[in-house]
Structure 1
Amino acid sequence: MTLLFTIFLLVFITQLISWIGQSVLLELVYALYLRVFHAATAERQRKLKSNLLKLKAELLQTSAQDQFAKWAKLRRSVDKGLADLEKLNGEISARKSGFSMRFNSAIWILTTGLQFFVGWWYRRAAVFYLPPGWLGPLGWWLALPFAPAGSVSVGVWQMACKRVLKVGERVVKEISAVRMAEAERAEVLKEKEKAAKAE
């Protein structure tokens, strides 16, 4: 029974990552990674951005003709700040590309790679047995490729779990679309009632 739930859990986690989106997860995990392991860099970037915005606002309020010396000084400060920010953003971007490669590799290993490994390791094991004669002569294909006859193999169970989760996803999306349409329809009716009362 544990093999049955282990395979379902692996397929569920893979589908959950697919639903959320690997890029969304990457952004969330990278933001957390940046705050935990590179807090000084993130804080420096935040301060540099806020300082740059203040300098730009002050530059826009300063007349280039009437206060040229002040305007030129502010302009040099803004240019230097932009160069520093660009350099810092380059460092962060390089760090992010390395992190992205490691993160995507870890996600692949923890989902697809682990599913392949479990499928290979338990290729001859039965996830569970069906009642004798339940599907008649067609029951043999549930045991493909190497599981004992009359059982459900790991590969077939993985495909069945994935299919059920995809159908569940479709049902949830359709239900939410129907609810959103009903809410929009109710909003339109309220607007019509308000318009009718106003006349």
Structure 2
Amino acid sequence: MPSLLLTVFLLQLAIHLVNTFGASSINTLLWNLYSNLPISKSESSAEQRELKSQYMKVRKEMNAISSQDEFAKWAKLRRQHDKLLEQLEKNKASTDSTRATFDSAVSTLRWLGTNGLRMFLQFWYSKQAMFWIPKGWVPYYAEWLLSFPRAPLGSISIQAWFLACTAIIILVSDALVAIVALVAGLGSGTAQKAKKEPIAVPSEKAGSKEKEEL
């Protein structure tokens, strides 16, 4: 069943990527994409940014004048400042509430699509063999472990296949990280060495000596 084998591998890869990048980073990325969609929530985010821009502009103008020399203008700007600040706080509270609901929904869907799906597959296909081991290749106790908990003896269970996929993904991931770190280290070392190497400049004595020989 190549389709199930590939499904298990891709599912374990997705779980590894989520654990590597972090759930909060993924939630933030999805929230930014969601905020830029042409819907009401996106309009609310755009309104929040516009209010913040106006607030910073009024605050800058208010700080640029003296409250004693230009009291009337300063008082007008102060009222605008307080009004914009109040609107910002209300919009921020609304946005924070929406963001909390969004994070909760995304976290639930992500868990159902990764760990929840993995648990379902492990239960549903627990008695089914992923593939069979050639007879006599491994001892009896190894066959029992590889078929644990309920797959036919002499086969690879879905639990064992999940563990194998996890081990392979971690090994490849660590190898890629090590290669990238090595290449980055060599690149930075070469750049530093090039900066430290002095540039050979011909001296005046050498130049004059060459002229005399000519």
Query: What's the TM-score bracket when you normalise by the shorter of the two chains?
Result: over 0.9
d(CA) in 1 for partners of 2:10, 2:30? 21
Counterpart of 2:184 (choices 157, 176, 180) is: 180
Counterpart for residue 197 of structure 1 = 199
Q: CA deviation at 1:49?
A: 0.9
1:13 deviation in Å?
A: 1.2
Structure 1 CA distance for aligned equivalents of residues 178 and 165 of structure 2 = 20
Secondary structure, aligned partner of 1:123: coil
In the alignment, the residues of structure 1 paired with residue 63 and residue 103 of structure 2 have an alpha-carbon distance, to the nearest angstrom, of 38
Q: Take 1:190 and 1:81, find their aligned partners in 2: how far apart are those partners?
A: 54
| Structure 1 residue runs of 4 or more that deviate by more than 4 Å after TM superposition | none
| 1:77 aligns to 2:80 (yes or no) | yes
Name the aligned partner's letter for residue 125 of structure 2. Answer: Y
Aligned with 1:155 (options 154, 159, 166): 159
Q: Matched residue of 1:64: which SS? A: coil
Q: Give the superposed CA RMSD.
A: 1.4
Cα offsets for 1:132-191 (capped at 9, x unmatched): 111122222100000011110000100110111111111111111111111111111111
Instruction: Provide the C-alpha distance between the structure 1 equivalents of 2:63 and 2:191, rounded to a whole number of angstroms.
Output: 44
1:35 aligns with 2:39: no
Mapped partners of 2:183, 2:74: distance in 1: 57
Aligned sequence identity (%): 34
Q: Tell me which structure has the larger Cα radius of gyration.
A: 2
Q: Structure with the greater relative contact order (CA < 8 A, sep ≥ 6): 1 or 2? A: 1
1:7-26 correspondence to structure 2 within 5 Å? 7-26=8-27
Question: 2:212 is matched with which residue?
Answer: none
**In the alignment, which of 109, 113, 118 is matched to residue 110 of structure 1?**
113
SS for the counterpart of 1:197 is: coil
5+ unaligned residues in a row in structure 1: which ranges?
A: none
Q: 1:87 and 2:121 equivalent?
A: no
Given the superposition, is the C-alpha separation of residues 67 and 100 from structure 1 closer, same or farther in structure 2, using an over 3 Å criterion? same
Task: Report the TM-score when normalising by structure 2.
Answer: 0.88
**Which blocks of at least 5 consecutive residues in structure 2 are unaligned?**
202-214
CA–CA separation in structure 2 for the residues paired with 1:135 and 1:2 = 26
